[in-house]
Structure 1
């Protein structure tokens, strides 16, 4: 009998411990469910890297129960590949990468844009190059990052000069590899954006054949995914508000911004001041005019066979807030 009581007592104690453990686990479950993360992709230059460096966004998102995970990418196409793969929730690029991404089926949503900065990208040649105009690029090799904003600059600059895109030889290289090829004379020209553009102009006296003035707008766009916009629109708005706050600071303090950028990207502050002066650093909801210009980019790439199918920018716009 004593043994039976002992076994019953042990069973009661075991059940009590199990029940207590289950209650603790159930109590912890809501807390764990509230530990949400927004994953943001950024490049070495732009407002998002400053937003990361200043730590402003974390404070904005804490009341919403979100933390931030940052991921660096070498250029826009790689960033949007990650968005398409579900590896990030938010990021920004120039005009061309979202066209390629949308054509590949990426569920991206345009959530904002920065005003035009046509001087922030250019087609460069070495200082002693015999090439004097964009028309001189016929039959020449041009380095560029495939699917980046300068891809569209090159297409439109050639069109304006009366040169078919098929009449040049594109060399698809990342900015670092393109700079190396440009310096050793392996390519005739280089289509590139700031701050790499400003660095090449200053350090090796690269010469412009053309920048975007009168050719392209060179907008910067901010993106999320349809799923994340639907799930957490308030988080998207908080990120955009952080971008606007940092952008206003850059415009008001260009020297301080250049000094903060310099160690992050390894380019001297005086060069960065030149690059910063070419940007607008603001963020706004897309307007019908900007969406129409982006559709022109998509149509140009489709006509050249650079994307596998036409895309409709309207299909990727954020729905108006109710």
Structure 2
């Protein structure tokens, strides 16, 4: 999250995926093997540590609420971040073994020749970002109306991907808007002050902003596959280590089972995170979850390659990455069988 600059942007649906959920991406394409498939190991060497990059305790809370954080046969060390870019920096410094990001950081990692790959993917019904107008801006009615407007978003995140793809669909380019690059947590303040006309926002920040500014509007979102996909990533050093790979397989299994548990216990994550932690009303929390839809793991690379390639090409055309890349190289399918087994397939 998915990406996702706060945990809520990648949050689990109250109707989270059942153990039998599909492991194919939207177009049903079959994943190509990129490495020797990994089986869930029953022997993880003593002393193994898995260093996990989290986003505001999203993964940690997911496992805790589902009971999947117990009897772990290795040590898990969490580091929490706000968004994918700082997490990529930690990977570059060799401080992480695994983590999760959205489609955009994955593209930037490949463009920067970082030694990491996506090892699992999950997707939602809609993207996590919303196009929000500043108070009183009734002229912002959709993506096409952004031409010539000041638009706030954080570069290098899923928010920029949402904007690029939506503008492209509306026949516009990034150069057609006046981009204001600020941290995601400052977008609401920029909107409220009137220094920008519109911005890319995420929950629960969107709901909090709209509650205080009734003349502001949630104008649009997107259903593009890269915008609603998130990826568990691992460093090449981790994938080269039998001990770390075994721990990664176990950790992925726990994540898949955590979603299955939440699917069988509707409202657990919604109440614990959106209501109790973020302070939203139960009604608003349920609305968000209903819009987000059921998250499902899919086999890598599956149907993500073509839309991910289109997104990468848009970033390259906009001058955000230096050269064209082949996004099929971002994915490592060795854990596909692990994910499928955890889903009961």
TM-score, length of structure 1 as denominator length: 0.79
Give secondary structure in 2 for the equivalent of 1:298: helix
The answer to whether the aligner puts 1:225 opposite 2:235 as a matched pair is yes
- 8 A contact 1:156–1:216 mirrored in 2: no
Distance 1:276-1:246 versus aligned 2 partners, 3 A rule: farther
Distance 1:37 1:91 in 2: 14
1:172 corresponds in structure 2 to 181
Shift of 1:134: 1.8
C-alpha contact 1:178 1:190 (8 A) present in aligned 2: yes
CA, structure 1 residues 137+298, in 2 after alignment: closer, same or farther (shift >3 Å)?
A: same
Counterpart in the other structure of 2:31 = none
Residue 315 of structure 1: which of 303, 306, 329 is its match? 329
Q: Which of 45, 61, 65 is the aligned partner of 1:50?
A: 61
Matches within 5 A, 1:1-322: 34-44=46-56, 46=58, 48-51=59-62, 53-54=64-65, 56=67, 58-59=69-70, 61-62=72-73, 66-129=74-137, 130-205=139-214, 206-213=216-223, 217-231=227-241, 232-262=244-274, 265-268=277-280, 270=282, 271-277=284-290, 278-320=292-334
Quote how far apart the aligned CAs of 1:304 are: 1.6
State the Cα distance separating 1:113 from its structure 2 match. Answer: 1.0
Q: 1:215 to 1:262 in 2, by over 3 A?
A: closer
What per-residue deviation string (whole Å, max 9, x for no partner) do you get for residues 34-56 of structure 1? 3221111111274x142354485
3-state DSSP of counterpart to 1:209 = strand
Alpha-carbon distance in structure 2 between the residues aligned to 1:304 and 1:114:
27
Q: CA deviation at 1:216?
A: 5.8
Instruction: Using the TM superposition, give the Cα deviation of residue 269 of structure 1 relative to its aligned residue in structure 2, in angstroms.
Output: 5.1
Contact residue 144 and residue 171 of structure 1 kept, 8 A: yes
Whole-Å Cα distance in 2 between the matches of residues 75 and 217 of structure 1? 14
Greater RCO (Cα-Cα under 8 Å, separation 6 or more):
2
1:82-104 per-position Cα deviation (integer Å, ceiling 9, x unaligned): 12221111111111111112211
For residues 58-83 of structure 1, what are the alpha-carbon distances to aligned partners after superposition, in whole Å with 9 as ceiling and x for unaligned? 53531xxx200111101122112212
Partner Cα separation in structure 1 for residue 309 and residue 105 of structure 2: 13
SS at match of 1:307: coil
For 1:75 and 1:265, the matched residues in 2 are separated by: 19
Q: Distance in 1 between matches of 2:223 and 2:117?
A: 27
Give, in whole Å, the separation in 1 of the partners of 2:272 and 2:247: 26
Tell me if structure 2 keeps the 8 A contact 1:37–1:68: yes
Larger Rg, first or second structure (1 or 2): 1
How many residues align? The count is 286
Tell me the distance in 1 between the aligned counterparts of 2:331 and 2:47.
Answer: 29
Structure 1 residues 145 and 280, CA gap change in structure 2 (3 angstroms): farther
Structure 1's 296 and 283: CA in aligned 2 closer, same or farther, altered over 3 A? same
Flag structure 2 segments of 5+ consecutive residues without an equivalent: 1-44, 338-345
> What is the Cα-based RMSD across aligned positions, in Å?
2.6
Is the alpha carbon distance of 1:275 and 1:106 closer, same or farther for their aligned partners in structure 2, counting shifts above 3 Å?
A: farther
